[in-house]
Amino acid sequence: MARTIFHADIATDSQEAVIALLRDWLVRPELSMAVRRTGYETTYRDDTIELYCYEAGAPGSGDSFYLLEGIVEAEPARAVERLAALAGACMVAGLDCSIDCAEADAAGAAIGVQSTVE
Name all domains of the chain by residue range, CATH numbers in brackets. 3-117 (3.30.160)
25-59 tens-digit pLDDT? 999 999 999 988 778 999 999 999 999 999 997 65
66-114 tens-digit pLDDT? 999 999 999 889 999 999 999 999 999 999 999 999 999 888 888 988 8
**Between vectors from CA 41 to CA 25 and to CA 79, what angle results, nearest 5°?**
35
Give the distance, in angstroms, between the CA of residue 58 and the centroid of all CA atoms in the same chain.
19
The reported pTM is 0.89
